[in-house]
Structure 1
Amino acid sequence: MSFTLQDKINIALKLDELGVDYIEGGWPYSNPKDLEFFKLMKEYPLTRAKLAAFGSTRRRGLRPHQDESLNSIVKADVPAAVIFGKSWTLHVDKVLEATREENLAMIAESVEYLRQHGMEVIYDAEHFFQGYQEDPEYALATIEAAWRAGARVVVLADTNGGTPPNEVYRIVQEVRRRFPNMPLGAHMHNDIGCAVANTLMAVAAGARHVQGTINGVGERTGNADLVAVLPTLELKMGFRVLRDEPPPAKYSKLREVSRLVYEALGMAPNPYQPYVGEFAFAHKGGVHADAVMKVPRAYEHVDPALVGNRRVFVVSEMAGGASVVLKAAEELGLELEKRDEAVRRALEEIKRMEKEGYSFDLAPASALLILMRHLGLYTERFQLLEWKVVTGPSEHSYAFVKVRVGESVRLEAGEGVGPVHAVDVALRRALTASFPELVDVALSDYKVVLPTAKKSTESVVRVLAEFRDGQRMWRTVGVSTNIVKASIKALTDGYDFALQIKNGWGKKPIYLGKKDVLIK
């Protein structure tokens, strides 16, 4: 992973807005980009966070003022320094090839040198947990050396990420008993999937300074994910973190910060990420959806709004009538009865289509079109009568579509990079001529899901299409043994849904059985 210089600035400003205490901006000695970052950040005053430069203790055999790494931290001209030193005798003996006494001197002298230059020093005790397990007295001696030299906080690091939570809790408690007045921190890696748990256990045992990254990005399997750590500390464990504002104001930007980092890395957001993922508060099973409709906290550990997220009801083969009703209420503003006959018929059709390979979990707009047809809310706006795609050895393809709107028939052609793009160009031309409101609608994402085997010589292909109009986003799905045909189904559903919600329905209440369906 690598951030551009502008990415680093944008993320730093957003972290400051979120309310973190320290932003470790990089290692100025390791590369010119990090040094330039600290220079440019002078133009961006921070309201809460302190910028910190990262580095190591002085090299063996040098005095602090001779060490280029320490001097690069000083030249960064920031309020705080984060330096790491060795706690594990294995590293002292085999990696540094220093005496154990010299390692203690390297730690103390490095902290003192930076303190003399007016910097607040955060000392990271590298491999502390491994060091403590092999030689507890020496590991304790290393952190005492940093503390006595003036370190603001001593951070116990599980650098190889291999310590289980029970050991983290035990060791931090023992350190706290040995040094009751030493400010302790936690720096956890995720090599056994326990970085978040280990961070929380360290705090429970007495640590009060937490290090981590947004989304847990980092070396190997990553670091502790602050997106999970921060709200858990406050909402579950009762600690006050970040700014002084109460939730939800404090955490309403958490999802936004998470998305910013994913975007900067060119990575798709993890839909299953705790608190901020698209499915973090998604309800698929009918029993769950029905319960949440009555009492949200029956299946939600916090209010989604507290962390800038929202509740999602998934329409699927597992869904009962409640899921369909809730999805309609969420997306269309419809008040329905889950036992209504039209809802039951729509659900039966959805389940039948899922047996054929459809999946509406990520494409609820296609399911809502089915529901609208059964409710009598659907008005046919157009028909795709014919289509043809021509491809060749070049990247460009050509498509022809024949579309009926009312009594008129329109034939249009399109050229694009690949057959799907060509069809989309032709289809948009045909539709926008009659429906200018579709000018703002754009295909924003397209993906082919791994096919499922149908026969030995063919497979069913599922295509997902995402659309945006500047105000809302919706996804549709198409399934076929022909990838172009599946794509066209998803495309036509996408433009059809846009027209249904923009025109033609919602003019008056629709009577269904004993209850009026109120369309907001």
Structure 2
Amino acid sequence: MNKKITIFDSTLRDGVQGQGISFSVEDKLKIVKCLDKLGVEYIEAGNPGSNPKDIEFFKRIKELTLKKSKIVAFGSTRRVGVETKDDNNVKNLLAVETDAICIFGKSWDFHATEILKTTLDENLQMIKDTVSYLKGKNKQVFFDAEHFFDGYKNNSEYAMKTVEAAKEAGADAVVLCDTNGGTLPQEIYEITKAVQDAFKDISIGVHAHNDMGMAVANSIMAVEGGANHIQGTFIGFGERCGNANLSTIIPILQLKMGFNIVDSEKLSELTSSARFISEVSNITLNDDAPFVGNGAFAHKGGMHIDAVCKDPVSYEHIEPTLVGNKRRFLISEVSGKSTVYSQIQKISPELPKDCEETKIITERLKELEFQGYQFEGAEGTVELIMRKILGKYKPFFELIDFKVIGEQPSLDSNFKSTAMMHIVVDGKKEMTAAEGEGPINALDKALRKALEVFYPELQSVRLVDYKVRVLDTGCATKAKVRVLIESTDGEEKWSTVGVSTDIIEASWVALVDSIEYKLIKNIEKKLKAYF
């Protein structure tokens, strides 16, 4: 397909309006580098007149040499009754010296008269003046037609006049915004097509919000209607319910619709990019996120797994490696020997399908499930169990003992705990202690502190989730508990599980599995790199 689609990322501007999202300047610079490496064409980086952090960012970004991306400053049209050259917002936009600027203005007559408290003609003049002034400064200018779809449905004639005003002033693209996120896909298609038919000689874009869960679908329908510029945030977060998710849109456009969005080798970095940005953003990437989620290509049912082993196309719409993800087979009570064998092959590919080890491992997993273990979301523990039975496991340390002490009351009213630990690695002893917010946190800190002496690579590992489930509630405080923890090293995520009547012991089992799994994966990476 010859038509070019421009990707415009707003993670650092619209994304920061999402609940719980706050970037430091360093965070923003890291995300810019990631998006540039992937090949995103435009990165909207913030409003230089809104806060000191954005002002500092625009100073620092000049120090970076970007290979692909262009940095975009964001702001509004001039204010009512103010000449463009005197408008402080416009001055701030020019001061940061970006090659591209995105200006938003009102396209809904209601907003012009009731929110801005101006006339419809003055609103059009504000659009013309601001766009033409910035074009006169040799800037590439995108005009975000705010609330365009709502405006079109209420007064199509006036909404179209705002597009015409931006076009006549020289805008490089007019972006139709579904600002409230309440427009249906078919409406998006029809309205976008009407605009494209009326303005054939200007680039038309779309900016969709996810208030009805349709931001991705709406963006795709806009492309079908003629749009060639898509705005969104990389993993979908943003104000209210979020923005169009570019990590979903990019592979749809490239793999399903034939557009050349990024280089194919860069597309294979899509998953790692999404996970990196989620880490920097301090949020957990949903396992069920299309294309890039940990469960996007996860199979659980025995018959499904058997079919995928015969031919992946039976239950996968694309090859996972195209987007840098991987296929996962989940071990659970509905798994059969085929599922277990598929996992064994990753560790001992030389073993035949009907080997005795498959039977032994299957029985062991079912035995542990009867005791309260759940392996569906604990692939780290499953692999360690298999390695122990297959003779492919060697412990990385020996625990001599640990002691956890909790004191109450404490001076600062917080329940502080202390863990003391004594371990041995290759005959060398290490004793350490750590204080934590409760016994499990103290134990986690002490274990890492001791092991990092021998395995410094563990410094990158942290827990991202910790879940406790009481298994037999009728036993009250002596009930058995299951602890599931999720860990990450900033690139990969893995889960491990422990079960005991003692929550500290259950947590200890899961923590040790998590660390040993990471160390095993590091050894495998080194071997692959060597050979």
Label 1:311 to 1:73 Cα distance change in 2 as closer, same or farther (>3 A).
same
Q: Is 1:302 matched with 2:305?
A: no
Label 1:451 to 1:58 Cα distance change in 2 as closer, same or farther (>3 A).
same
Aligned to 1:233: 253
What does 1:431-442 align with in structure 2 at a 5 Å threshold?
none
CA contact (8 A) 2:211 2:241 kept: yes
Q: Is 1:141 matched with 2:157?
A: no
Q: Distance in 2 between matches of 1:258 and 1:334?
A: 31
Q: Distance in 1 between matches of 2:128 and 2:451?
A: 73
Q: Distance in 2 between matches of 1:61 and 1:12?
A: 36
Which of 267, 270, 274 is matched with 1:251 structurally? 267
Q: Distance in 2 between matches of 1:212 and 1:347?
A: 45
What does 1:30-109 align with in structure 2 at a 5 Å threshold?
30-109=50-129
CA contact (8 A) 2:464 2:488 kept: no
Deviations 1:219-268 (A, max 9, x none): 111111111111110111111213xx3x2x12122223222322222222
Q: Is 1:260 matched with 2:276?
A: yes
- Stretch of structure 1 that moved more, 55-64 or 261-270: 261-270
Deviations 1:404-424 (A, max 9, x none): x99x9x997855434346656
How far 1:370 moved relative to its partner? 3.5
Which of 460, 463, 474 is matched with 1:445 structurally? 463
Label 1:416 to 1:5 Cα distance change in 2 as closer, same or farther (>3 A).
closer
What SS does the aligned partner of 1:25 have? strand
CA contact (8 A) 2:467 2:485 kept: no
Which of 328, 334, 340 is matched with 2:344 structurally? 328
Aligned to 1:116: 136
Aligned to 2:8: none
Label 1:103 to 1:438 Cα distance change in 2 as closer, same or farther (>3 A).
closer
CA contact (8 A) 2:465 2:487 kept: no
Deviations 1:173-223 (A, max 9, x none): 222222233310010111111111111110111000111111112111111
Q: Distance in 2 between matches of 1:158 and 1:466?
A: 36
Label 1:413 to 1:33 Cα distance change in 2 as closer, same or farther (>3 A).
closer
Which of 363, 376, 380 is matched with 2:378 structurally? 363
Deviations 1:419-475 (A, max 9, x none): 34665688789999xxx9768667743753142452242454222356789999864
Aligned to 1:397: 418
Aligned to 1:274: 290
Aligned to 1:290: 306
Percentage of matched positions with identical amino acids: 43
Aligned to 1:508: none
Label 1:109 to 1:485 Cα distance change in 2 as closer, same or farther (>3 A).
same
Deviations 1:293-330 (A, max 9, x none): 22122222222222122222222222222221222223
Instruction: Give 5+ residue unaligned stretches, structure 1.
Output: 504-519
Q: Distance in 2 between matches of 1:122 and 1:62?
A: 21
Q: Distance in 2 between matches of 1:80 and 1:473?
A: 37
How far 1:29 moved relative to its partner? 1.6
- Stretch of structure 1 that moved more, 392-401 or 301-310: 392-401
CA contact (8 A) 1:188 1:223 kept: yes
Deviations 1:133-162 (A, max 9, x none): 111111111111111111111100000111
Aligned letter for 2:116?
L
Which of 182, 191, 201 is matched with 1:162 structurally? 182
Q: Distance in 2 between matches of 1:143 and 1:253?
A: 36
Q: Distance in 2 between matches of 1:494 and 1:260?
A: 20
CA contact (8 A) 1:52 1:81 kept: yes
Q: Distance in 2 between matches of 1:364 and 1:329?
A: 15
Q: Distance in 2 between matches of 1:266 and 1:272?
A: 18
Q: Distance in 1 between matches of 2:34 and 2:515?
A: 35
Aligned letter for 1:357?
G
Aligned to 1:455: 473
CA contact (8 A) 1:401 1:427 kept: no
Larger radius of gyration: 1
CA contact (8 A) 2:287 2:294 kept: yes
CA RMSD, Structure 1 to Structure 2 (Å): 3.5
Q: Is 1:312 matched with 2:301?
A: no
Label 1:142 to 1:441 Cα distance change in 2 as closer, same or farther (>3 A).
closer
Aligned letter for 2:81?
G
Which of 213, 238, 243 is matched with 1:223 structurally? 243
Matched residues, number: 493
Deviations 1:335-380 (A, max 9, x none): 4444444313422332343344322233223223433455566689
How far 1:476 moved relative to its partner? 2.9
Q: Distance in 1 between matches of 2:137 and 2:240?
A: 34
What SS does the aligned partner of 1:214 have? coil
What SS does the aligned partner of 1:289 have? helix
How far 1:3 moved relative to its partner? 1.1
CA contact (8 A) 1:446 1:464 kept: no
Q: Distance in 2 between matches of 1:311 and 1:350?
A: 21
Q: Distance in 2 between matches of 1:278 and 1:294?
A: 22
What does 1:5-20 align with in structure 2 at a 5 Å threshold?
5-20=25-40
What SS does the aligned partner of 1:55 have? strand
Q: Distance in 1 between matches of 2:284 and 2:515?
A: 24
What SS does the aligned partner of 2:211 have? coil
Give TM-score scaled by structure 1 length: 0.84
Aligned letter for 1:79?
D
Aligned letter for 2:418?
S
- Stretch of structure 1 that moved more, 303-312 or 378-387: 378-387
Label 1:257 to 1:352 Cα distance change in 2 as closer, same or farther (>3 A).
same
Aligned to 2:10: none
CA contact (8 A) 1:448 1:462 kept: no
